Amino acid sequence: MRHLFRFKNKTRNHSNITSNDLNIDKQNIPEHIAIIMDGNGRWAKQRKMPRIKGHYEGMQTVKKITRHASDLGVKYLTLYAFSTENWTRPTEEVNYLMKLPGDFLSTFLPELMEKNVRVETIGFIDALPEHTRKAVLEAIEKTKNNTGLTLVFALNYGGKKEIVAAVQMIADLYKENKVTLDDINETTFNDYLFTKNIPDPELLIRTSGEQRLSNFLIWQSSYSEFVFDDTLWPDFNENNLEQAIKTYQERHRRFGGL
């Protein structure tokens, strides 16, 4: 993990930056961008609104950023929607968060189809409420033949738990003499992660000013470029995304070499 960068709203107003100002290289767009969508609750609190209003507005931002990432040619966009630790939040908030995927997909699915976006999920989906799981699986099924951007929702996802689950699966295979110790390496380990069919993210963005991974893609982000933006997620816009991509493009990715 290297190259940390932080944007501060007080020094630059991203809403006034245009694509022409940024001059991003359309030939060097990250194939996979992952985002920790942080700040919904604080956005609502600043406006003396209930936290669920922040989550609602955050979902509108998801639509906006998905559209723009698709237009820019991003191949994979992974969004941290609900972590394995989020179950400890107040029941009312959790229940609302479990309702959001259905509401979001029912209103946005026609546009996802129009833009050729494919929906996928990573996480322990079987533990989600039935109505949440049903909405997600229906979207996955309806978009499975789309060939544009893959929109990946991390739902009930935790990086540590994912790694432990992978180790358990490999250990079971070892006990059954289906793999040897020599068979176990980074490549084969990847095959037992939720992201086995998804490339590692080149760019990982976290909004709201916090600077930590919060158990998100901790194996997969070992060589991601990190950008921390002070903008609260409901206020994050197309220009914020392009600024993060511009920062990514200005870095020299050496992967431990020279």
Active site residues: 38, 86
Q: Strands 118-122 and 76-83, how do they pair? A: unpaired
| DSSP code for 151 | E
Per-residue burial over 19-29, b if 16 or more Cβ lie within 10 Å, else e, is eeeeebeeeeb
What is the DSSP-derived secondary structure letter of residue 2? B
Residues 6+ apart with CB under 8 A from 192: 165, 166, 169, 170
Report the helix count and the strand count for the chain, using DSSP H and E.
Answer: 8, 7
Residues 105, 139 contacting (CB under 8 angstroms): yes
Report the alpha-carbon distance of residue 182 to residue 45 in Å, rounded.
Answer: 53
3-state SS, residue 188: helix
162 secondary structure, DSSP code: H
Phi/psi of residue 175, each to 5°? -65, -30
Calculate ∠ Cα 41-47-50, nearest 5°: 50
